[in-house]
Amino acid sequence: MPNSSEEIVINKPRRRSRIREAHENSIIRAAEQLFSQNGYHGTALETIAEKAGMSKQNLIYYFSSKEILYQRVLRNILDILIEKMTLMDQLGETPTEILTNYIKSKVEISRHYPDASKVFAIEIINGAPYLKKYLQTHLTPALEDDVKLVEKWMAEGVMDKIDPYHLFFMIWSSTQTYADFSSQVSLSLGKEQLQDKDFDNATEFLTHLVIKGLGMR
């Protein structure tokens, strides 16, 4: 139980000021967008600062180095991805429902966090220098669990016997493509930008393909 207020307040509570919170957010948003368009080295701190509405020096006040800012951007999207990355976390009773919701979740991420998703993708393409360790400790174990679950389903005869790993690779890639390769996708569809309807169509198609392709239901 807390003591009387004036007691051992050695470390000042130093609450995150509202200004700091707001500015860090706008910096991260700006950084996501610029990093995703021009890459890490192709983006100048001054450009980010400008987009976030402040001076470069002020930006450095909030993020003491470019690398730290970059890692923060990566970390942000990773938290989102990890959270929805596991089959277990999906609502649904039957395997079909679970898989359906899994696909849906991943398309949603592409729809709502396209810039961050692109930064993540580039990082992976570059060989995941910053993320390798984190992926090993967080993503891989979660994937193992999911694989086991799928194998259980296969043993129970509710789906075809296939290589579960490649199933996940396929779902990851074909859902993320609506963020990462959106320029190619929208170009192919003859649109300036992807609409909600397009994401829905994607979800529907992928669900159909996976469920039927695995002989489920």
Partner DNA sequence: CTCAGTCATGACCACATGGTAAAATAAGCG
Partner DNA sequence: CGCTTATTTTACCATGTGGTCATGACTGAG
Residues making contact with a copy of itself (CB under 8 A): 36-42, 118, 121-122, 124-128, 132, 135-136, 139-140, 143, 160, 162-163, 165-170, 172-174, 176-178, 180-181, 183-185, 187-190, 201-202, 204-206, 208-215
Q: How many residues interact with DNA (rule CB under 7 A)?
A: 22
- Crossing angle for the helix pair 114-125 and 18-38, to the nearest 10 degrees: 60
Q: State yes or no: residue 55 binds DNA (CB under 7 A).
A: yes
Which of 52/171 has CB closer to DNA? Answer: 52
Q: Which is nearer to a copy of itself, 89 or 168 (CB)?
A: 168
Q: Provide DSSP, 37-99.
A: HHTTTT--HHHHHHHHTS-HHHHHHHSSSHHHHHHHHHHHHHHHHHHHH-STTS--SSHHHHH
Among 39, 44, 145, 151, binds DNA (CB under 7 A): 44
Candidate residues 31, 45, 109, 210; the one interacting with DNA per rule CB under 7 A:
45
Query: Residue 117, by phi and psi: left (phi above 0), alpha (psi -120 to 50) or beta?
Result: alpha
Q: Measuring CA to CA, how many Å separate 158 from each of 86, 93, 215?
A: 19, 13, 8
Q: Which is nearer to a copy of itself, 48 or 180 (CB)?
A: 180
CA distance 176 to 114: 9
Residue 90 φ/ψ, nearest 5 degrees = -80, 140
Out of DNA, a copy of itself, none, what residue 168 binds, judged by CB under 5 to 8 A for its kind, is a copy of itself
Give dist(CA 102, CA 64) in Å, integer: 38
Does 65 bind DNA (CB under 7 A)? Our answer is yes
Smallest separation, CB 7 to a copy of itself (Å): 49
Q: Which residues bind DNA (CB under 7 A)?
A: 12, 14, 17-20, 23, 43-46, 54-58, 60-61, 64-67
